[in-house]
């Protein structure tokens, strides 16, 4: 009898599992469908898209749309393709991510290991900056960039993104370093290590997970930013996101969907790569911060 | 002349005063143990000596030189932390050599020093490992190695053995004592284990709530505790503290203790002590350590003053080398320490010898020892 019950339990268990998996697969399909549509249609000639349905595989495979999106499509008035803007984005994102991460790490180090009177208040204020909506900052930011002579430059965009990202990077590192044993810092002090030596030799080597989290977070946010890019960018500094928008909206007459799809994937590719390369650490680092915060 | 001297040391965190005016000194080569219950300020005191915490008031001097304003690395001290605080990303050799590396000591010289220390502590085969690959005892040794290699004027230890299991703790305790005897360097050592304090120290400082309770040799602290707190805190099993009344006949004093049944116990305490006799009729606390309360055959033959009394034995706890017997006097459980094969049975009467040479009296109001 008990064996019977167990078999019954096993069966219902299996059923539950099957149900669970079907639901999960359904969700996965739901999320992957747009990507599939984009991929499939980015390698079809335009006629095929117009005739057939969006979901079918290409009958005639071509990389023409990718080449066009990259180097010759009409962006605004010039037929430059997305290439120069991709470069603008890289030139903006790399320094902005690096600087904001380094400053965030230093802030976190000071706020946890070199505490001073009123440090909580300062941290609170830094934290507050995470909640300020972009739109509020637009006009003051424009004024300041103008005053600094940085309007329309990549440097200006870097400055904006660094300032805006500092709240988050500081939060990440502060929470991570709060759980870092202070006795290690004290031991290093007795060993005679300086402020920066302690940071570089003791804390930094143990910071890989939180650096990965911060870099992913900053990279995605800055790469995907549209508002600051469109507000403060020029031809020399417009980021990829704005260019993509211009590509989609400016090719008058025929809508070249295949080129648009290819361009969109190109725009999303860097963040995708960053995720795949370091996603493993992302989850681990977030958990560490969350639990020990 | 004192080597490490602490005068009127005060330390507050914000509005909370953690150290309330500490005066301590230790001679060169001494072994000072700071002992006290959790949260009494031991670590804080040690950290102020190391320079890791600023002080609010007072002075700390090492070898005649005030170190108040010196950075931790300039005080010529080395510290072993409770958590060991080994740098997780460096090898054992890297950990031991880090201070020298920072000071710019040449690689060859550094390696020689590391090898020397590794030899002393027998950790030569561990030098290339990371701390995460070491056992607790090995980590402890590496932490000591990092301190030894500095060859400081003063070693500071903050509960270095508290993370080890019981057996290893005893071994390491002996090893620390051996190292101290060999090197003769001054040591300040924090623990809340009073056995560690008794076995290691040349001087013990007992702290409670940031106030120094007593400062003296282990023997003084054990035999003549300054107050009820020290009497209760030091020694294991702890001192029997029994409420009693003083009785006097002329200048001769006796102690009267109530019993649940029968007549009160009367012990002649001392002869010809007029100051004490003046307190006739007052309440006191009678303190006697378990080993001073034993079966008549084991009683100290050299003691001048032993009284024997019949007591009801409630429980016996054989502990191998000794047998502990619990009786009840003055409403308190009283522990006596008898030889292992003493003929004694729980629930029956037994004759116990009180060695009154070793007994002390406290004033229950002021908590201070009066005799
Ligand atoms: N940075 C700090 N800020 C505020 N209060 C502190 C700080 N460090 C310690 N204290 C307080 O000072 C008191 C003494 O702490 P300390 O660490 O010196 O105790 P301890 O005697 O070493 O205790 P334990 O045996 O548990 O290690 C405690 O009440 C503690 O809460
Ligand atoms: Mg402590």
Residue B104 clears pLDDT 50, i.e. is over it: yes
- The residue ranges of DSSP E strands in chain A, in sequence order, are none
B39 CA → ligand 1 middle, Å:
5
Ligand located closest to B206 CA: 1
Predicted confidence band of residue B227 (pLDDT cuts 50, 70, 90): very high
Residues from chain A contacting residue B73 (CB–CB below 8 Å): 189-192
Q: Tell me the C-alpha distance between A167 and B323, whole Å.
A: 66
Predicted confidence band of residue B76 (pLDDT cuts 50, 70, 90): very high
Cα-Cα-Cα-Cα dihedral sign, residues B12, B16, B17, B18: negative
Report the CATH fold assignment for B2-233. Answer: Rossmann fold (3.40.50)
Angle A163-A168-A172 (CA atoms, 0-180°, nearest 5)? 135
Q: Which atom of ligand 1 lies at the shortest distance from residue B14's CA? A: 4
Closest C-alpha to ligand 1, atom 22 = B43
Please give the model's pTM, rounded to 2 decimal places. 0.83
Among B177-181, B301-305, B306-310, the range with the most confident prediction by mean pLDDT is B177-181
Q: What b/e readout covers B15-43, taking b as 16+ CB neighbours within 10 angstroms? A: eeebbbebebbbeeebbbbbbbeeebbbb
Residue A202 clears pLDDT 60, i.e. is over it: yes
- Look at residues A96, A112, A94, A92 and name the one whose alpha carbon lies nearest to residue A170: A112
Residue A4 clears pLDDT 70, i.e. is over it: no
pLDDT of residue A49: 84
pLDDT digits (tens, 9 = 90+) for A113-135: 998 889 999 999 999 988 888 88
C-alpha dist (Å) from residue A99 to A159, A165, A240, B37, B148: 9, 10, 21, 48, 41
ipTM: 0.83
B81 CA → ligand 2 middle, Å:
9
Domain A83-292 part of CATH 3.40.50.2300: no
pLDDT of residue A220: 93
Residue A292 clears pLDDT 50, i.e. is over it: no
Which CATH superfamily includes the segment(s) B240-362?
Nucleic acid-binding proteins (2.40.50.140)
Residues contacting ligand 1 via CB (< 6 Å): B 13, 16, 18, 36, 38-44, 192
Judged on CB neighbours under 10 Å (0-12, 13-18, 19+), B108 is exposed
Min CA distance, B55 vs chain A (Å)? 15
Task: For chain B, give every residue range classified as CATH 2.40.50.140.
Answer: 240-362
B19, B39, B211, B212, best to mutate for ligand 1 pocket (most atoms within 8 Å of CB): B39
Residue of B nearest to A196 (CA): B102
Angle B40-B236-B144 (CA atoms, 0-180°, nearest 5)? 60
Domain boundaries, chain A: 2-71, 83-292
Q: Compute the mean pLDDT over every residue in chain A, rounded to the nearest whole number.
A: 88
- A197/A136: higher pLDDT: A197
Q: What are phi and psi of A257, to 5 degrees?
A: -55, -40
Please state whether the peptide bond connecting residue B237 to the residue before it is cis, i.e. omega within 30 degrees of 0: yes
pLDDT digits (tens, 9 = 90+) for B54-66: 999 999 999 999 9
Closest C-alpha to ligand 1, atom 16 = B41
pLDDT of residue A284: 65
Q: Tell me the C-alpha distance between A254 and A246, whole Å.
A: 15
Min CA distance, B19 vs chain A (Å)? 20
pLDDT of residue B1: 62
Q: Measured between CB atoms, does A53 come within 8 Å of chain B?
A: no
């Amino acid at each position: 009898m008990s064996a019977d019950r167990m078999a019954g339990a096993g069966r219902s268990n299996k059923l539950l599992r099957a149900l669970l998996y079907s639901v999960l697969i359904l969700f996965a399909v739901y999320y992957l469908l747009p990507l599939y549509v984009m991929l499939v249609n980015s390698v079809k000639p335009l006629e095929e898209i117009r005739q057939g349905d969006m979901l079918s595989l290409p009958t005639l495979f071509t990389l023409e749309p990718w080449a066009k999106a990259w180097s010759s499509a009409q962006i605004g008035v010039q037929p430059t393709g997305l290439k120069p803007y991709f470069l603008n984005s890289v030139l903006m994102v790399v320094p902005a991510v690096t600087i904001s991460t380094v400053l965030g790490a230093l802030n976190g180090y000071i706020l946890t290991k070199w505490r001073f009177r009123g440090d909580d208040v300062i941290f609170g204020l830094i934290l507050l900056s995470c909640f300020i909506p972009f739109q509020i900052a637009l006009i003051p930011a424009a004024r300041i960039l103008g005053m600094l002579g940085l309007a329309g430059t990549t440097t200006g965009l870097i400055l904006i993104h660094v300032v805006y990202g500092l709240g988050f990077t500081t939060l990440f590192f502060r929470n991570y370093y709060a759980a870092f044993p202070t006795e290690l810092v004290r031991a290093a002090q007795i060993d005679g290590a300086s402020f920066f030596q302690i940071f570089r030799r003791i804390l930094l080597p143990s910071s890989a997970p939180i650096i990965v989290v911060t870099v992913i977070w900053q990279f995605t946010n800055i790469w995907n930013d549209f508002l600051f890019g469109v507000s403060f960018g020029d031809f020399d500094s417009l980021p990829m996101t704005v260019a993509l928008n211009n590509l989609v909206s400016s090719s008058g007459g025929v809508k070249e969907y295949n080129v648009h799809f290819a361009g969109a994937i190109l725009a999303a590719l860097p963040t995708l790569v960053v995720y795949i390369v370091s996603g493993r650490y992302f989850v681990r680092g977030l958990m560490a911060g969350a639990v020990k915060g | 002349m004192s080597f490490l001297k602490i005068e009127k040391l005060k330390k507050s965190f914000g509005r909370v005063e953690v150290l309330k005016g500490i005066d301590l000194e230790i001679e060169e080569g001494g072994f000072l143990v700071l002992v006290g219950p959790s949260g009494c300020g031991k670590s804080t005191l040690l950290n102020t000596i190391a320079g890791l915490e600023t002080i609010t008031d007072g002075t700390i001097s090492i070898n005649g030189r005030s170190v108040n304003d010196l950075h931790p690395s300039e005080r010529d001290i080395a510290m072993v932390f409770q958590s060991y605080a080994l740098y997780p990303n460096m090898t054992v050799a890297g950990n031991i050599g880090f201070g020298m590396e920072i000071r710019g000591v040449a690689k060859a010289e550094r390696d020689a020093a590391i090898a020397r220390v590794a030899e002393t502590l027998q950790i030569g085969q561990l030098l290339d490992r990371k701390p995460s690959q070491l056992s607790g005892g090995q980590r402890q040794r590496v932490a000591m190695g990092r301190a030894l290699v500095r060859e400081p004027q003063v070693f500071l230890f903050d509960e270095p053995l508290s993370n080890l299991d019981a057996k290893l703790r005893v071994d390491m305790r002996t090893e620390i004592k051996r190292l101290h005897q060999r090197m003769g360097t001054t040591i300040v050592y924090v623990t809340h284990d009073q056995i560690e304090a008794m076995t290691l120290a040349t001087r013990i400082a007992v702290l409670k709530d940031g106030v120094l309770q007593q400062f003296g040799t282990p023997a003084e602290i054990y035999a003549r505790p300054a107050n009820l707190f020290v009497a209760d805190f030091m020694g294991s099993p702890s001192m029997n503290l029994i409420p009693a009344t003083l009785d006097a006949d002329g200048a001769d004093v006796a102690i009267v203790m109530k019993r649940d049944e029968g007549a009160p116990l009367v012990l002649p305490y001392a002869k010809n002590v007029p100051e004490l006799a003046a307190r006739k009729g007052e309440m006191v606390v009678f303190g006697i350590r378990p080993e001073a309360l034993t079966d008549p055959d084991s009683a100290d033959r050299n003691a001048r003053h032993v009284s024997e009394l019949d007591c009801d034995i409630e429980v016996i706890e054989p502990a191998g080398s000794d047998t502990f017997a619990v009786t009840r006097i003055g409403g308190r459980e009283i522990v006596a320490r008898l030889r292992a094969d003493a003929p004694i049975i729980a629930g029956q009467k037994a004759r116990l010898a009180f060695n009154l040479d070793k007994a002390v009296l406290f004033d229950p109001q002021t908590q201070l020892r009066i005799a």
